[in-house]
């Protein structure tokens, strides 16, 4: 209630900014279309008729959304699947892809429901089990996530099942053992992408163990294997920022100025450098969060909390966003921002449910302030 009124005021302020113009020259370029993106009608018609067009098309769109951070591609993927989703028994491949889209939108429960439908029809679908494990892990339902990982044994690329399992054990009281176990998985036997995943998992575990030097090494090897790995790049940027290495952060993210999570790190790096160049990133982020709020999306609430805390110095707003985010997702970064926001707002109690959850699971993270630690 309180926030919605405040948000309404902000929205109005943002809306007033529009000032339409008539370009002077016909040749002025208004938009550069992403490669291959054209009038949607022909491909839509084809995808509605043929599943062997719809599924690869949707898959390519999803991959593109992941690689570029361009959320519109998720919508295009959804549109390609839509005619097939309307059937009473959608093909499992369609369900699994659609569940992945829902996951990206943080509609986790709906995603799980579709994965269960897919698995009922195709019990050995490795991709469905892996997506399911990922969703459950984000939700903090570790027992169920582990069970999903076990279904990958003998079903997926070698190493994937162990990586999946050890990743969860690392969150539930076995951090050092899990780290060592993943180190034991021979990287040579893995495909490039799974190898990059292994590196980012190792890097994050090393950070939680308090060994940032080792973490940096893992992130660097991960990026060498898969330079476009969005996730590893973000994690590495956060590590650099924690050490005040702002200039290196900017170099790392130079080519990624279109994604909100990346923009946030760029803005933070400029803050650390105390230069004015971050103003553009800050304005873009503020505009993007404002529109998301209007839409009722909350996909970037974690980033928004960090933006409010570290850019806007609004610890109460940050705490509200971080607490709402914790209701939706429970990854280490979600715990970290909630802990920091609660401390900054002088409301340590707000972080207590989170701390209880982490304690119950035996979670360990060297970056987390100890409960009751004064700032």
Binding to another protein (CB under 8 A): which residues in 248-307? 255, 257-261, 263, 283-285, 287-288, 291-292, 294-297, 299-300, 302
Give CA angle at 164 (159, 168), nearest 5°.
140
Residues 321-340 that bind another protein (CB under 8 A): 329, 331, 333
- What is the sign of the dihedral through the CA atoms of 64, 185, 136 and 93? positive
Residue 226 touching another protein (CB under 8 A): yes
Pick the binder of another protein from 49, 50, 72, 224 (CB under 8 A): 72
Least distance from another protein to the Cβ atom of residue 117, Å: 16
Residue 153 touching another protein (CB under 8 A): no
Pick the binder of another protein from 54, 62, 95, 225 (CB under 8 A): 62
Residue 71 touching another protein (CB under 8 A): yes
Q: Which is nearer to another protein, 216 or 238 (CB)?
A: 238
Comparing CA positions, the residue from 202, 205, 212 lying closest to residue 245 is 212
Tell me the Cα Rg of the chain. 22
Comparing CA positions, the residue from 353, 352, 349, 326 lying closest to residue 337 is 326
* CA dist 356 → 208, 271, 351, 361, 371 (Å): 18, 33, 9, 9, 10
Residue 31 touching another protein (CB under 8 A): yes
Residue 346 touching another protein (CB under 8 A): yes
Residues 82-141 that bind another protein (CB under 8 A): 82, 96, 100, 103-105, 127-128, 130-131, 134, 138
Residue 155 touching another protein (CB under 8 A): no
Pick the binder of another protein from 158, 348, 369, 371 (CB under 8 A): 348
Give the residue carrying structure tokens 């279904």. 151
Give the residue carrying structure tokens 């060994």. 211
Give CA angle at 307 (316, 322), nearest 5°.
50
Binding segment for another protein (CB under 8 A), chosen from 33-41, 240-248, 270-278, 306-314, is 33-41
- For 64, the token pair is 């593109």
Contacts of 102 (CB under 8 A, 6+ apart): 108, 110, 111, 114
- How many other C-beta atoms lie within 10 A of the C-beta of residue 299? 17
Pick the binder of another protein from 84, 179, 197, 363 (CB under 8 A): 197
Binding segment for another protein (CB under 8 A), chosen from 22-30, 173-181, 269-277, 352-360, is 22-30
């Amino acid at each position: 209630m309180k926030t919605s009124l405040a948000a309404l005021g902000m929205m109005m302020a943002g809306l007033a900014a529009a000032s339409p113009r008539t370009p002077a020259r016909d040749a002025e370029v208004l938009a550069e279309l992403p490669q291959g993106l054209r009038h949607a009608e022909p491909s839509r018609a084809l995808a509605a008729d043929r599943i062997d067009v719809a599924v690869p098309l949707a898959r390519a769109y999803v991959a593109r959304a992941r690689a570029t951070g361009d959320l519109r591609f998720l919508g295009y993927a959804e549109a390609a699947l839509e005619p097939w989703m309307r059937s009473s028994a959608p093909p499992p491949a369609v369900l699994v892809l659609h569940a992945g889209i829902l996951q990206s939108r943080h509609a986790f429960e709906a995603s799980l429901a579709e994965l269960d439908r897919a698995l009922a029809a195709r019990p050995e679908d490795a991709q469905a089990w892996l997506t399911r494990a990922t969703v459950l892990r984000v939700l903090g339902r570790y027992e169920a996530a582990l069970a999903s990982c076990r279904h990958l044994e003998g079903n997926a690329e070698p190493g994937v099942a162990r990586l999946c399992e050890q990743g969860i054990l690392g969150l539930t009281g076995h951090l050092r053992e899990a780290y060592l176990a993943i180190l034991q998985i021979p990287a040579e036997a893995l495909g490039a992408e799974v190898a990059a995943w292994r590196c980012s998992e190792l890097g994050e575990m090393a950070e939680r163990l308090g060994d940032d030097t080792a973490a940096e090494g893992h992130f660097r090897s991960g990026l060498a294997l898969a330079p476009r790995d969005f996730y590893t790049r973000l994690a590495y940027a956060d590590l650099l920022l924690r050490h005040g290495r702002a200039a290196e952060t900017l170099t790392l993210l130079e080519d990624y100025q279109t994604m909100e999570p990346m923009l946030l790190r760029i803005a933070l790096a400029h803050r650390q450098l105390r230069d004015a160049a971050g103003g553009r990133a800050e304005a873009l982020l503020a505009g993007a969060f404002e529109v998301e709020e209007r839409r009722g999306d909350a996909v970037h609430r974690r980033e928004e909390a960090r933006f409010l805390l570290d850019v806007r110095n609004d610890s109460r707003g940050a705490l509200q966003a971080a607490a709402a985010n914790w209701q939706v997702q429970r990854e280490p970064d979600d715990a970290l921002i909630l802990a920091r926001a609660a401390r900054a707002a002088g409301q340590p109690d707000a972080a207590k449910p989170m701390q209880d959850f982490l304690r119950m699971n035996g979670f360990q993270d060297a970056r987390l302030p100890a409960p009751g630690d004064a700032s």
